[in-house]
Amino acid sequence: MGRARCLNLRALALLGSAGLVVSSLTLGSAAQTPKSDGQMAAQDQAAGSALVGNKSAKTYHQADCALIRKLPGRSKVDLASPEAAQAAGFKPCTTCKPAAEGGAASMPLDDDSGLGAEVKKSRLKKGKGTDPESEPSFGIDNGPLKFSRDIAPILAGNCMPCHKDMPKQGEFNLSSFQKMLEGSQSGPVLVPGKAEESLLVQLVTQRKMPRGGNRRLSNEAIARIQRWVAEGAVLDAGVSPTDNLDKIKPSPEQIRREELAKLSPEVRDAQIEKMGRDRLKKAAPQVEPTILAGKNLMLFHTLPEDRAKALLRTLETQRTAVLNLIGNRVEALTGPEKLSVYVVKDANTYTEFVRSVEQREVEMGADGHARFNADAPYLVVIDPLAGGDEPAATPGTPKKATRKKNANDFDTVSPIASRTLAGLATEALTAGALTASGKPPRWLSEGLGAYMANQVEPRSTYYTGLRTEALQQLQLGWETRSAEVLNDQGSADMMRAMGFTLCQWIGSTGYREQFPMFVRALTDEGAAKFDDILKGCFGPEATRQAFQTAWGEFVASSRGGR
């Protein structure tokens, strides 16, 4: 980490805090327009192509397959396409035949012995049943093949279970590219540039390998191996030949995102809309949400139109602000698919959503959260106004408390709620993004979430409460309490309040350059490296004790005022 200019911590404690400057994001009208025939067709296509995997059986199914309906949610995984499912090691269901229509369904396997024995038999029978013209030929697209993306997932998921380390079937180790080139006890199994002479290709095209009903290869997978060998069996530039295949193959999520990137925006949006409706149906079957799509977000809501549009504008702006602070390290915020935002009316619906979609219980006091590492990433939040309109100003209400100041301040604090929908959603967005980007201490993700939300709802009394909580910790023994928080110990409420005041302090005007560096370093390294991070960001004199002292003086000064 490069050393930044020194920070006088004691002097900083006496400064006021100022929010990060966020650039406003100009959006066109986000109102929905009637779908064209082409869009409706794309939506129908996306709805019909949804696949669900059974993690235990390693099978994939159509979404309406009877074998998958009653399966517990924790045993399911959403899959983008038959190719992504096959690459991740899943086989097609023999009941609903999800891949049969597209020509990628697997054929039955021969139940023969290990690869070493098959190599010997194949060589003895050369010229009998191995004529290239008699072998099945499977056509695939002409796009460039990459070993790491197109071949390694097939071999790792279907072949490597029997051909890694010791003992190995036929003394053939398939755990790395280098080991694969070394061949088996009978000699080489790959002849680069000559697929018809490569025994690995012969065995998979003859359906003699891999063995076992759970590792069937699709026509698509076989064709990829055949073509890769024919093109020279080349390893990607920059990939080590000794790396384990599990290390270099893309994750199911990466495969899914690559598949999504190939789709048109209309088809991607249709998939997100279908998945969003399905998720909300589990929590509130009687509710039919309205969909409002923005540039990077898709809002599912039952709000009045003006509130929905204003919320979408604010979250688009806050998405940009969060990325400016933590960097482009959260794929859920950078595409290709839009982030889903679910607004629910009450705590009961929120609880049902968490139970039915995530199979867990809600933390006490939670009113929103984000899941950015899930398929079709999302944010869910409770509307403090339960889907209603903004309350009208009452006689005697100061004008400045009800007027709309700007796009980020649209949702004024109402007499019946201490928080705004925009503030709650921004807090969940920020905390979720930070958690998905690394291993931040909880006080940082909770505190930064509150800090960013405070920029959206500056008049909320919620933040006065956070400052008061931090002041109480100061009075109870700052040295001990601040040390506990920096070590990520304490209740969520305590860490949120303390983290909020710390972010206010470090985010003060004149020190914004250090703030992103500080946040990113803690997210990358975690709380265990806190002392090294202090010195790297603020200079060698920035000890933990000096940091705690200056932070405490900031909290004591006007209760850590803005």
Task: Establish if 425 belongs to a structural domain.
Answer: yes
The string of pLDDT tens digits covering residues 103-147 is 333 333 233 333 333 333 443 344 434 333 333 333 344 557 788
> Confidence band (pLDDT; 50, 70, 90) for 340?
very high
Q: Provide the terminal-to-terminal Cα distance of the chain, rounded to the nearest Å.
A: 30
Please, which residues bridge with residue 94 across strands? none
| Res 219: pLDDT | 79
Both 139 and 61 in one domain: the answer is no
**Phi then psi dihedrals of residue 286, to 5 deg:** -85, -10
Both 561 and 449 in one domain: the answer is yes
Both 425 and 297 in one domain: the answer is yes
The domain of 242 spans 115-260
Q: Which of 231, 256, 225 is nearest to 156 (CA)?
A: 225
Both 58 and 182 in one domain: the answer is no
- For helices 442-456 and 492-506, give the axis angle rounded to 10 degrees: 60
pLDDT-above-70 percentage for the chain: 71
Both 160 and 275 in one domain: the answer is no
Sign of CA dihedral 415, 416, 418, 422: negative
Task: Establish if 178 belongs to a structural domain.
Answer: yes
- Tell me: pLDDT of 25 over 80: no
Q: Which of 266, 314, 273, 275 is nearest to 292 (CA)?
A: 273
Last-in-domain residue among 245, 260, 275: 260
Both 456 and 482 in one domain: the answer is yes
SS (H, E, C) 146-186: CHHHHHHHHHHHHCCCCCCCCCCHHHCCCCEHHHHHHCECC
Q: Which of 90, 248, 255, 89 is nearest to 176 (CA)?
A: 248
Both 12 and 128 in one domain: the answer is no
Both 139 and 255 in one domain: the answer is yes
Task: Establish if 11 belongs to a structural domain.
Answer: yes
- Does the reported pTM lie above 0.85? no
Task: Establish if 98 belongs to a structural domain.
Answer: no
Q: Which of 247, 265, 314 is nearest to 27 (CA)?
A: 314
Q: Tell me the one-letter amino acid at 374.
A: A
Q: Which of 385, 382, 387 is nearest to 351 (CA)?
A: 382
Q: Distance between CA atoms of 177 and 234, rounded to whole angstroms? A: 10
**DSSP states of 111-133 as a string?**
----HHHHHHHHHHTTTSS--GG
Q: Distance between CA atoms of 425 and 273, rounded to whole angstroms? A: 19
The string of pLDDT tens digits covering residues 234-274 is 887 777 888 777 777 776 667 777 777 788 889 999 999 99
Burial of 499 per CB tally in 10 Å (0-12, 13-18, 19+): buried
Both 199 and 268 in one domain: the answer is no
Last-in-domain residue among 211, 243, 260: 260
Task: Establish if 251 belongs to a structural domain.
Answer: yes
Last-in-domain residue among 260, 275, 303: 260
When mean pLDDT is compared across 77-91, 437-451, 483-497, the lowest value belongs to: 77-91
Q: Distance between CA atoms of 499 and 518, rounded to whole angstroms? A: 13
Q: Where are the beta strands (DSSP E) in 30-123?
A: 51-54, 59-62, 76-79, 91-92
When mean pLDDT is compared across 66-75, 450-459, 539-548, the lowest value belongs to: 66-75
Both 432 and 526 in one domain: the answer is no
State which of 17-31, 387-401, 476-490, 496-510 shows the largest mean pLDDT.
Answer: 476-490
- Tell me: pLDDT of 169 over 70: no
Task: Give how many domains the chain has, as a whole number.
Answer: 4
Both 458 and 535 in one domain: the answer is yes
Both 304 and 424 in one domain: the answer is yes
Task: Establish if 108 belongs to a structural domain.
Answer: no
| Res 297: pLDDT | 96
Average pLDDT, the chain: 75
Q: Which residues contact 184 (CB under 8 A, 6 or more apart)?
A: 115, 116, 119, 170, 171, 172
Sign of CA dihedral 137, 141, 142, 143: negative
Task: Establish if 121 belongs to a structural domain.
Answer: yes
Chain-centre distance of CA 445, in angstroms?
16
Task: Establish if 183 belongs to a structural domain.
Answer: yes
